[in-house]
Amino acid sequence: MQEIIHHTNPPGTPPRKGGLQAVGIFVFALVLWKICTGYDPSSWILGIPAAGLFTWFSLTQAESNYRIRFRALPAFLVYFLSQSVLTGLDVAKRALHPEREINPGFCTYPARLPPGSPRALFANMISLLPGTLSWSLVDGVHKVHLLSGHPMILEELAILESRVGKLFGLDLPEEMM
């Protein structure tokens, strides 16, 4: 009888990836570049190297075993684009109406997402919410810079975190820590 040996990666190391996955990530990066830059042939001078760098980082540097659920991607992209538009409008209002109240400050938000790709994506997406900027992430607590504090910011952060969680197929606890 032959023994079956299962090879697993040591804890904390990313799983091995095949060439087909590398091609998929590269094509995904090119599509994102196209969406962001429109049809400008000269943009590919930067777009192709950026897609290559994105692919390399995704395959070698990301220390997470969490993977994006591609079925959840369309809903996330709609949310991403709508938040981008709202953030742009918020910045435009502040620029065009200097008397608009600006009262900068910080808030803290304890992470519910696990460390790795989900938490990193959430930290980067925080800046999409109007008037916010992800400042730091230390010991699982996000520090967020606010242009002006508004009472709904913690709820908005919870919604964003839940959407990032769904993108990775994660169910987050209902209550914030």
| Structure confidence by residue, pLDDT tens digits, 1-39 | 433 333 344 444 444 556 777 888 888 888 888 887 877
Q: At a CB cut-off of 8 Å and minimum separation 6, what does 97 contact?
A: none
Retrieve residue 154's tokens.
């913690």
The partner residues of 103 in beta bridges, in order of sequence, read 148
Per-residue confidence (pLDDT) for residue 139, from 0 to 100 = 87
Q: In what order do the strands lie in the sheet with 132-138?
A: 105-110, 141-146, 132-138
| Structure confidence by residue, pLDDT tens digits, 123-175 | 888 887 888 888 888 888 999 988 877 778 889 899 999 999 998 899 887 65
Distance CA 125, CA 111 (A): 13
Retrieve residue 88's tokens.
């742009």
Q: 5 or 45: whose pLDDT is higher?
A: 45
Query: For residue 101, which amino acid is it?
Result: E
How many other C-beta atoms lie within 10 A of the C-beta of residue 58?
19
Per-residue confidence (pLDDT) for residue 5, from 0 to 100 = 36
Per-residue confidence (pLDDT) for residue 176, from 0 to 100 = 52
Per-residue confidence (pLDDT) for residue 63, from 0 to 100 = 56
Q: At a CB cut-off of 8 Å and minimum separation 6, what does 126 contact?
A: 132, 133, 134, 142, 144, 157, 160
Residue located via tokens 């760098």: 53
Per-residue confidence (pLDDT) for residue 131, from 0 to 100 = 80
CB contact at 8 A, 66 and 117: yes
CB contact at 8 A, 108 and 144: yes
Question: Hey, is 137 helix, strand or coil?
Answer: strand
Per-residue confidence (pLDDT) for residue 112, from 0 to 100 = 93
